[in-house]
Structure 1
Amino acid sequence: MPDIVKISVRALVEYVYRSGSIDSGFRTINTLTEGTKAHQKVQKDYAELDRKEVYVSEEILYNDLLFVIDGRCDGLLRENHHVTIDEIKSTAGELSAITPQTYPVHWAQAKCYAYMVAKEEGLERIQVQLTYVQVQSEERKRFVLEASFEELKQFIHDMVKAYFPYAQLKHRHEQARDASIRELEFPFEKYREGQRKLAGAVYKSIADGKKLFAKAPTGIGKTISTIFPSVKAIGEGLLGRILYLTAKTITRTAAEEAYALLRSRGLHIHVVTITAKEKVCFLEEMRCSKEHCPYADGYYDRINEALLDMLSSESLMTRAVIEQYARKHEVCPFEFALDAAYAADAMICDYNYVFDLRVSLKRLFEEQKRHTVLLIDEAHNLVDRAREMYSSELNKSDFLTIQREYKGRNGELHSAAKKINDYFIALRKQIGENKTEVTKDLPKPLIELLEAFTAVSERILASAGAGGADAGLLLDVHFAAAGFIRIAKLYDERYVTYAESIRNNVSIKLFCLDPSNLLKQMGKGYRSHIFFSATLSPLNFYMDMLGGDLEADFSAAIPSPFSSEQLDVHIEPLSTRYRHREETKGPIVQLIHQQVKNRPGNYLAFFPSYEYMNNAYERFNVLDGEMNTMIQASGMSEEDREGFLAAFDAGAKQTLIAFAVMGGIFSEGIDLVGDRLTGVIIVGVGLPQVCLERNIMKDYFDAAGKNGFDYAYVYPGMNKVLQAGGRLIRSEQDRGSLLLIDDRYLQPHYRRLLPPEWEA
């Protein structure tokens, strides 16, 4: 029996027929929704005997592989004994630019459907029709050809032949992968305490198709404990793909190292790391068009060869590997990584590739999702990230600039921008100077003005008529407006609208207070979600905010594998509340100085804000100008961060104290093992500064019957404390001291949020 390769018609034709260049200078943000509407409007005009969304399939044997190809054709039309396959495509561009030769891939898709229908119905000839729809005007343009069954049969067999080298590569890889997984053992001599429990919970969650919320302490080896059982699940046929989602580059590195370790133990696997486009772009100025970028020009003519080369030669495709092959084949490294990721067994990427409506992995079909697990690292970060993803803000100043730039150049765009600017002027008069207005109502009049604006700006951008230095601004404002419209469609009782008038500018924001429902919707279809973090505490809060179900989903709280003797914890009950800071700054600096003097070594001192940190740093240097000190700067480059961490030398003879901000780049995801870090000092309980948004959140959760202050301030703040303190004990050999400075640490409400091993 030949081995089976399943593939959709769309995936087949896109692989074989993709050609040309990348041109992402402008694409409408609503393409998917508008495309669906365009399809439905065409299908409404079908005759009574016509059928829509018709499932078709075919099996084709080529060499040692049996290709099972299937898909859904948009229309199967019958008229005067003629059968016609209708393939509908929507566009934001002008129909006059489309000829029968413009998109060979569309003809290929329609011909595949035509062959399958002709074979099933025993037809000698069949008509193939392409229907193009302009999404704004709803104008239609059609091309029709007639083909014989034999022509279509030859056509689809030629496509399978062209696809075969790639299919054979993937098939052989999967056989080797599955065989290697069967032999794969846990890559350490024994599990750390708690590791086996976490790995078992992950495997069971995947097997049962459930979500798992796991609180697992720092140093337990969470990354390998989630990846290893997921790899095993691929070998058992439960999964086809693993998505490892992170918030920060440094945690991506941990995942890469875990896969590399398994690879060294015999695992045969394809893993791709996706890095942000602006970080991997080879050019000084990122302009994704064939006119400006040689890696975009002809990209699709070279990509298949590039993929075959890299996938046949490499296993772990990190940023460096992607860039190496991208330069070799002259292809865009970002798009290359995405194309490789769709072909890989595992990918490592940012949260937004799954949860953000703008950049999610849209080519991952529902069938593939059902065989994919999401491993969501440092999941506590996803709450605020999701709020950002599902909120949207506009500023008056942007529309005033467009209004001025296009005066006398494009009357329609000038008028549309002026109406929005006038709306903001009226809003400023309504709420008053330097004031704020919060409402639960969606600003529908503004949405209507924005829809009119984007309709005009879209036509200008699609036809490349913007021109001039302001074209980039129009693109940015268009996407901001379209994003606002998109978020408006999600608006419900979990949102508020707030407007701020500050001097001459006015802003309006659709603010997502509770992202749980949208996270649930965006994650729908995946087999399993594994949310894990050392600071997923309190667990009920994070299950609530991340779209969990307290009754149906799994949870696990793994105890620390380290002994209490490894950590010396001391609490100093000095107030760090804003109103007391001036009087306690001096004693706190004295206390820090005493701590580092008594026990020489390397220290990290965390503060609740840059202002507080800078002030303490200055006072400390006045007190002791001899000691080696460092301070975190805002907007540090990767080189600066590496230099900061490199200063923590285990063999240094002089004591080092580094001042950093809680919740910042040095408070989570860094490993300073052994004597590289002697102690951590945490000043305050990490509460976010009192502000409008946090107070809106507090009121919302109070009204929902929850403790609003805890949800808006205490839990996010204490999470920063736990993350900062977690830098200290990273292995069984580590020892260290933890100094907590704040009187609230002695209050039961805060104390019970501390881990048991922090008992002073």
Structure 2
Amino acid sequence: MEEKKEVQEIQEEVVRISVRNLVEFILREGDLDNRQGGTADREAMLLGGRIHRKIQRQMGSGYHAEVPLQMMVPCEKLKIVVEGRADGIIEEKDRIAIDEIKGVLMDLEMVKEPKMVHLAQAKCYACIYAKKRNLDEIGVQMTYCQMETEEVKRFYQTYGCTELEKWFLNLVHQYEKWALFQIEWRKKRNASIRRVEFPFPYREGQKDLVVSVYRSILRKKKLFIQAPTGVGKTIASVFPAVKAVGEGLANQIFYLTAKTITRTVAEKAFLTLKEQGLSYKVITLTAKEKICFCEKTECNPDACIYAKGHFDRVNDAVFDMLTHVDDMSRDQIEAYARKHTVCPFEMALDLSVWMDAVICDYNYVFDPNAHLKRFFGEGAKKEYLFLIDEAHNLVERGRSMYSASLCKEHILEVRKIVKTEDAKLTKALSGCNEQLLILKRECPGHALYSSVSHLVIRLMNVMSEVERFLEECRKEEIREQVLDLYFEIRDFLSIHEKLDENYMIYTELTEDGGFYVRLFCVNPAVNLSEYLNYGVCTVFFSATLLPIQYYKKLLSTQTDDYAVYAHTPFPEENRRVMIGTDVTTRYTRRSDEMYRKYAGYLLETVREKPGNYLAFFPSYRFLNDVYDAFQEMRKPEEDLFCLVQDPGMTEEEREEFLNYFEEEREGTLLGFCVMGGIFSEGIDLTDEKLIGAWVIGTGLPQVCLERELLKQYFDEKGMSGFDYAYLYPGMNKVLQAAGRVIRTDTDQGMIFLLDDRFQMSQYRAVFPREWSQVRRIRLSQTAKEVAAFWEGTRTHPPVSD
């Protein structure tokens, strides 16, 4: 009886899929080949509504544009609804036909026949419409439009509806096993979620966080969480998100990070819940360069056996892994990729569609060139939860992802190498260079513009010729250089389409003689929202999300977002924050004497209390100047071991650096690091592994053209340009560096803020609440303050939970 009831429940299940997703998933075939110049990306960029609407308007009264269509297909244990929107339906006296419109950059002479997936989409719509109208036959028209010239080329074919339906049903039934797997897995997953409880005793303030996250999901709001380290914000975000999925409030979690180390924390949170019996498929996406089986990452069938025929085998590989293991670790992905001879990176991306949680870098969601089109394309269901860790990083990353630049010298370099190869491309590049030359003559050092549309027209002409050239070119070295320029222009055109009041357009003549046209995204909030709108809820969290209004303004377009300031669980007496009032990193006061004063602070501290320390500097140059002074002033007999961060350290070198802090020692270990670098955030050195940090300088970015433009932009908006361009980004680096010291409720340590500017009210206003007892000191008072702090910790030792 129970079995019958379960089968009946499954039969009532309905799975929905868009026509495009169905076709592109089931019918893909052939090789993985990145030499084709990113055709899919180009189409995604260019299939905008403008050309569609223009063609549709020209088609007359018998043409119906953007017609929604769907068909429900009963299967053995479920029903599959295939749905989408036909570009056009032609209803004339002598024919009824589906019209599918595709925009391309290539010369239409090169389009010899419709692309298979394009035609399949049209055939799906034709079948659905023919069934609806009870037709015996129906036409399919493929309309290709050259985006620059607006020239049109059409292919037309008539299909008998019986054969068309047979083809369509076969396509849908190939998807049936995937849909059934999804239904049965979600039933198992949701049943397991109901049994899961919060895995630890709640720390102070942690339960409030859990409630705030759940409430935000329930109300479909964004939430900003400023949470000091040690609150347990990762598990406090993951747990309510998993619970919300179990209750049908969302279906998939994206845990987004800026750094590899924070992904490990997220993985541990899900593993902790799995220890209670949670059935949850979680995948961490690894960068292509790291997971690639080949010595050199060349994704084409000539260079890689895993690329050859990849799409013929990858669906079988994914289904095999989905139905045999719940562990979606990198090792397992690599094992199944080798078993089926497919690319492990591309296989992981395909697996992610079927996961309950995806842990990945920001760019997989937000980057217009790298985001997962599987999730954010046509027909995507808006049922995701975005948990954004270390969200303070997203402002600068967002600006970078949504900005673009074009270099005049790159145009000239490519023109030079193709001059004897292709006259038409050379001419197009020359026309583009002429426009850039006009702009260069108007540029004393930099110049602002309201529009560069005249340049864009030339660039579209270049793109058309580059497209043709790449199809024909067989000289690999030349081809690679042209392809690099192609991507530069593609990115520029793509970003140009996004231009609005959140952008500044400017030209710049750099010191090395390079001339650039830049599209600078000042406020990335609108562009970020394009992807965040696919989510039910977004939770931004960080230990340094101050001031909260700054991050709200630059990460969200909403005015009613929630914000929470989590209470710190750490006893105040375990931490001492001191401002050094007799030192500064101001350029005008830098001198050997000042470097010796900074070195003095370090030496006075470690002589009074040996242990492990980190010193954070505003630049490598400042670091080296203080390091030299430190080495001159230290005594030969002192037990001091120094580590110095180098620019461009490898992952292995970074791990070796950190491993020194894990070792037990009698004397002092002192790491010299750069603020905002790889050691100033995302590392956990608990207990005696780190007992103090010196933050040298206010972290203000160096004055440069881009920062000055930011300042100008926000001043013109009536906001403090200096704060937005310099103060807030700088203080975030300070707070991140200082946050390395206290990581658990038993940690004890000192934080030295060594710059007299920290006394100023505008800097103090950004201090976290827990820095309520900041002391002002001078170099001469350092040893006394250090001794007093550690004497106090002996009197009141930390008590662990």
TM bracket, shorter-chain basis: over 0.9
Provide the C-alpha distance between the structure 2 equivalents of 1:525 and 1:623, rounded to a whole number of angstroms: 58
Identify if the C-alpha distance between structure 1 residues 553 and 476 changes in structure 2 by more than 3 Å, giving closer, same or farther.
same
**What's the offset of the Cα at 1:89?**
3.7
Correspondent of 1:245 among 240, 256, 276:
256
Q: Which residue of 2 aligns with 1:489?
A: 497
Give 1:498's aligned residue. 507
Question: 1:671 is paired with a residue of what secondary structure?
Answer: coil
Q: Which of 746, 756, 768 is the equivalent residue of 1:743?
A: 756
Aligned partners of 2:102 and 2:65: how far apart in 1?
14
In structure 1, distance between residues paired with 2:495 and 2:80:
41
CA 419–124 in structure 1, closer or farther in 2 if over 3 Å, else same: closer
Distance across 1 between alignment mates of 2:51 and 2:28: 23
- Alignment partner, residue 406 of structure 1: 418
**1:219 aligned to which of 227, 230, 244:** 230
Q: Find the counterpart in structure 1 of residue 349 from structure 2.
A: 338
Q: Describe the SS at the equivalent of 1:469.
A: helix
Q: Which amino acid aligns with 2:770?
A: E
- Residue 103 of structure 1: CA displacement? 4.5
Q: In 2 relative to 1, CA 367–458 (structure 1 residues): closer, same or farther, beyond 3 Å?
A: closer
> 8 Å contact 2:45–2:494 — kept in the other structure?
no
Task: Determine helix, strand or coil for the equivalent of 2:744.
Answer: coil
CA distance in 2, matches of 1:576, 1:99: 66
> Structure 1 residue aligned with 2:572, among 564, 572, 585?
564
- Distance change >3 Å, CA 508–CA 114, structure 1 → 2: closer
Q: How many residues align?
A: 752
Partner of 2:660: 647
Secondary structure class of the residue paired with 2:507:
strand
Q: Deviations over 1:3-46 (max 9, x none)?
A: 32222233233332221112232025542353344544443343
> 1:431 aligns to what SS in structure 2?
coil
1:211–1:548 Cα contact (<8 Å) kept: no
CA contact (8 A) 1:413 1:457 kept: yes
Tell me by how many angstroms 1:277 deviates: 2.4
Do structure 1's residue 513 and structure 2's residue 513 form an aligned pair?
A: no
* Inter-partner Cα distance in structure 1 for 2:730 and 2:313: 50
Q: In the alignment, which residue of structure 2 is the partner of 1:201?
A: 212
Structure 2 CA distance, aligned partners of 1:327 and 1:528? 37
Partner amino acid, structure 2, of 1:144: Q
- What CA RMSD, in Å, does the superposition of the two structures yield over aligned residues? 2.3
Q: 1:472 aligns with which of 470, 476, 480?
A: 480
Query: 1:431, 1:501 within 8 Å by CA — same for their partners in 2?
Result: no
Contact 2:611–2:667 (CA under 8 A) maintained in structure 1? yes
1:692–1:12 distance in 2 versus 1, CA, 3 Å: closer
1-structure distance, mates of 2:624, 2:20 = 57
Query: What does residue 632 of structure 1 align with?
Result: 645
- Superposed CA deviations along residues 352-410 of structure 1, whole A, max 9, x for unmatched, are 22222222232325764421121111111111111111222222221221121122221
Deviation at residue 285 of structure 1 after TM alignment: 2.7
Contact in 2 for aligned 1:460/1:466 (Cα 8 Å): no
1:667 is aligned to 2:680: yes
Q: Which residue of 1 aligns with 2:745?
A: 732
Separation in 2 of the partners of 1:5 and 1:549? 32
CA contact (8 A) 2:507 2:515 kept: no
Q: Does 1:355 align with 2:362?
A: no
Encode CA deviations 1:164-206: one digit per residue, 9 max, x unaligned. Answer: 2222222211111111111111122x11112111121111111
- Which residue is 1:540 aligned to? 549
Alignment check: 8 A CA contact 1:62 1:160 kept: no
2:452 aligns with one of 439, 443, 457? 443
Between the aligned partners of 1:220 and 1:45, the Cα distance in structure 2 is 61
On the 8 A contact 1:572/1:739 being kept in 2, the answer is yes
- The equivalent position to 1:456 in structure 2, one of 444, 459, 465, is 465
What is the aligned partner in structure 1 of residue 777 from structure 2? Answer: none
1:313 corresponds in structure 2 to: 324
- How far 1:124 sits from its partner (Å)? 3.4
Distance 2:261 2:72 in 1: 46
Q: For 1:87, give the aligned amino acid.
A: E
Which residue in 1 is equivalent to 2:286? Answer: 275
Question: Match of 2:175?
Answer: 163
Partners of 1:487 and 1:80 in 2: how far apart? Answer: 44
2:537 equivalent in structure 1: 528
Does the CA contact (< 8 Å) of 1:10 and 1:109 recur in 2?
yes
Q: Deviation digits for residues 406-448 of structure 1, max 9, x if unmatched?
A: 222212222332344444445444435xxx2231433344333
C-alpha contact (below 8 Å) 1:196/1:225 kept by paired residues: yes
Q: CA deviation at 1:612?
A: 0.6
C-alpha distance in 2, partners of 1:105/1:468? 29
Provide the secondary structure at the position in 1 that maps to 2:210. helix
Q: What residue in structure 2 maps to residue 328 of structure 1?
A: 339
Say which of 571, 580, 599 aligns to 2:589. Answer: 580
Distance in structure 2 (CA, Å) of the matches to 1:696 and 1:134: 37
Structure 1 counterpart of 2:189: 177
What is the CA-CA distance between 1:555 and the residue it aligns to?
Answer: 0.9
Specify the SS of the correspondent of 1:693.
helix
Q: Is the 8 A contact 1:500 1:508 kept in 2?
A: no
Other structure's SS at 2:666 match: coil
Q: Does 1:34 align with 2:46?
A: yes
Contact 2:148 2:460 in 1 (8 A): no
Deviations 1:244-284 (Å, cap 9, x if unpaired)? 11111111221122112222221111222222323322223
Give how far 1:74 is off.
2.7
* Aligned mates of 1:282, 1:443 — CA distance in 2: 43
State the SS of the aligned residue for 1:269: coil
AA at the equivalent of 1:277: K
- Partner of 1:349: helix, strand, or coil? strand
How far apart are the structure 1 equivalents of 2:465 and 2:19? 35
Distance 1:599 1:313, change over 3 A: farther
Deviation of 1:236 (Å) = 0.8
| CA deviation after TM superposition for structure 1 residue 210, in Å | 0.9
**Residue 423 to residue 11, structure 1, CA distance change in 2 (3 Å):** closer
Distance, in Å, in 2 between the alignment partners of 1:591 and 1:86 is: 75
Residue 124 of structure 1 corresponds to 136
The 10-residue stretch of structure 1 (514-523 or 339-348) with the greater mean CA deviation from structure 2: 514-523
Q: Deviations over 1:22-80 (max 9, x none)?
A: 22320255423533445444433434233232222222222222222222223332334
The residue identity in structure 2 corresponding to 1:446 is L
The alpha-carbon distance between structure 1 residues 671 and 369, as it changes in their structure 2 partners (threshold 3 A), is: farther
